[in-house]
Amino acid sequence: MSEKPKVVKLSEEHIPEAWYNVLPDLPKPLEPPLHPATRQPVGPDDLAPLFPMGLIEQEVSGERYIEIPAEVREIYKIWRPTSLVRATRLEEYLQTPARIYFKNEGESPAGSHKPNTAVAQAYYNKKEGVRKLTTETGAGQWGSALSMGCNFFGLELQVFMVRSSFQQKPYRRVLMETWGAKVQPSPSEMTETGRKILEKYPDTPGSLGIAISEAIELAVQGDDVKYSLGSVLNHVLLHQTVIGLEAKKAFEVIDDYPDMVIGCVGGGSNFGGTALPFVKEKVDGSDIRIIAVEPTSCPTLTGGRFEYDFGDIAEMTPLLLMYTLGHDFVPPASHAGGLRYHGDSPIVSLLVKEGIIEARAYHQVEVFEAAVTFARTEGFIPAPETSHAVKAAIDEAVKCRESGESKCIFFNFSGHGYLDLSAYDDYLAGKLNDV
């Protein structure tokens, strides 16, 4: 038994007072987004129909720290600071000399890290007089987080939920509706884009790209309606840095420090939020390792090209310089719905390109095997997305067993899997394949 605590639970006053903005500390400046029609850099005016100025300013800010508004910190108190947990039982099971820690973002009411930005985005929209937000959601993690955020600030929310998920996964729709949002299966009759697609392909399962196009179309029609995105953009990663900042404080309390920081990557927000506060020391020459994990079925960082691409299939969004599989890439169905995006955050992409961040990919079955090992040792059942980070942490801990090194491995537990139990059912029944 170790004399150190199993769980470090900081008190409310340790919720960070500012988010950390990595932009001034990047090894190279980010290239600007380009306008979809003119291919010229987009300015604030181009983005104003979609986002409130408060968020547009954060997107390009040169300030290293950006104060968290008191109203947002007040809501963070519901579940923050989240626990930093030493996975002692997993360590014993693996017989590793490594020290494994995870930060439990599954403690939020929506069950993932996503409310960290949802609450902040709702706040800035409300402050600028916005009445209603629109957004898209795949399996519903983002839609449910934003539903909660909008509810707290009295904003209406229209969610376009990919039709196949709408039909197969009713529980997150119920979460969204419980928090007061309106949910439409996408494609829908509410938009021109939706009507056109339905006319041509009445039986389409829908896609995230189509749902994004619908949400944007509805947002640009009203002055008091805006659009909200749950990952990829700089301001989203900024809001998520509460994860890494709190982790640093918790490590200080127990007098330990990570040799490795690990996170799973869909659009890059939970990984960025965890890892970016550790990036400056890496840029300055520290040998800390920062590892991004993705599914082999959607290998954006490990198999994509680094180039300008659209965020959506209808080519309505600005072009971003990022690792991408192409905006018309449709990944095969897998249980890690939150990791099925064709592109990636420009910040994370640049850091991979510059060799600051390592990327690796895993197959679905090995990921579930790791998830079950984790559940049977530490109790918590990870989301399928999160399980990619769990798998990488276990692999690194096993390497330590082989080399005899006692490394400190830190990963972000981005969310729980209690609404993904059908995926576990498939795995336990031996019905899961590598796609």
Ligand X SMILES: *Cc1c(COP(=O)(O)O)cnc(C)c1O
Q: Is 127 exposed, middle or buried (0-12, 13-18, 19+ CB in 10 A)?
A: middle
* Number of residues forming the site for ligand X (CB under 6 A): 19
Which residue lies nearer to ligand X by CB, 388 or 407? 388
- What is the spatial distance between Cα 119 and Cα 80, in angstroms, rounded to a whole number? 13
| Residue that is written with structure tokens 């920081």 in the block | 261
User: Can residue 268 be called a binding residue for ligand X (CB under 6 A)?
Assistant: yes
Considering only 4-12, 62-70, 159-167, 263-271, which stretch makes contact with ligand X by CB under 6 A?
Answer: 263-271
Which residue lies nearer to ligand X by CB, 83 or 386? 386
- 49 C-beta neighbours (distance < 10 Å), count: 15
- What is the spatial distance between Cα 114 and Cα 108, in angstroms, rounded to a whole number? 9
Which residue lies nearer to ligand X by CB, 194 or 346? 346
Task: Name every residue whose Cβ is closer than 8 Å to that of residue 7 and which is 6 or more positions away in sequence.
Answer: 83, 84, 85, 86
DSSP run (H or E) holding 22? none
Which residue lies nearer to ligand X by CB, 225 or 348? 348
Please give the backbone phi and psi of residue 311, each rounded to the nearest 5 degrees, phi first: -85, -15
In the complex, the smallest distance separating the C-beta of residue 397 from ligand X, rounded to whole angstroms, is: 21
Among the listed residues 75, 119, 210, 265, the single contact to ligand X using CB under 6 A: 265
Among the listed residues 83, 144, 386, 387, the single contact to ligand X using CB under 6 A: 386
Could you tell me if 407 and 98 are in contact, meaning their C-beta atoms sit under 8 angstroms apart? yes
- What is the spatial distance between Cα 392 and Cα 274, in angstroms, rounded to a whole number? 15
- The closest residue (CB) to ligand X is 415
Which residue lies nearer to ligand X by CB, 153 or 413? 413
Which residue lies nearer to ligand X by CB, 145 or 400? 145
User: Can residue 81 be called a binding residue for ligand X (CB under 6 A)?
Assistant: no
User: Can residue 318 be called a binding residue for ligand X (CB under 6 A)?
Assistant: no
What strands lie across the sheet with 225-227, from one edge to the other? 182-186, 156-162, 132-137, 225-227
In the complex, the smallest distance separating the C-beta of residue 355 from ligand X, rounded to whole angstroms, is: 21
Q: How many CA atoms lie within 13 A of 260 on its CB side?
A: 28
Among the listed residues 207, 269, 317, 364, the single contact to ligand X using CB under 6 A: 269
Query: By rule CB under 6 A, what string of x and - marks binding of each residue 327-356 to ligand X?
Result: -----------xx-----------------
Specify the pairing of strand 305-310 against strand 319-324: antiparallel
Token pair of 137, please? Answer: 């959601």
- 214 C-beta neighbours (distance < 10 Å), count: 28
**In 3D, which of 247, 375, 349 has the Cα closest to residue 294?**
349
Token pair of 277, please? Answer: 């506060």
Among the listed residues 16, 81, 194, 266, the single contact to ligand X using CB under 6 A: 266
Query: By rule CB under 6 A, what string of x and - marks binding of each residue 224-253 to ligand X?
Result: -------x----------------------
Which residue lies nearer to ligand X by CB, 33 or 230? 230
Among the listed residues 414, 424, 427, 432, the single contact to ligand X using CB under 6 A: 414
Considering only 264-272, 298-306, 308-316, 370-378, which stretch makes contact with ligand X by CB under 6 A?
Answer: 264-272
Token pair of 251, please? Answer: 């490590």
In the complex, the smallest distance separating the C-beta of residue 242 from ligand X, rounded to whole angstroms, is: 13
**In 3D, which of 84, 112, 87, 83 has the Cα closest to residue 100?**
87
Question: By CB under 6 A, what part of segment 136-165 binds ligand X?
Answer: 141
Which residue lies nearer to ligand X by CB, 90 or 339? 339
In the complex, the smallest distance separating the C-beta of residue 285 from ligand X, rounded to whole angstroms, is: 27
In the complex, the smallest distance separating the C-beta of residue 87 from ligand X, rounded to whole angstroms, is: 17
Could you tell me if 68 and 77 are in contact, meaning their C-beta atoms sit under 8 angstroms apart? no
Q: Which residues bind ligand X (CB under 6 A)?
A: 112, 114, 141, 231, 264-271, 338-339, 383, 385-386, 414-415
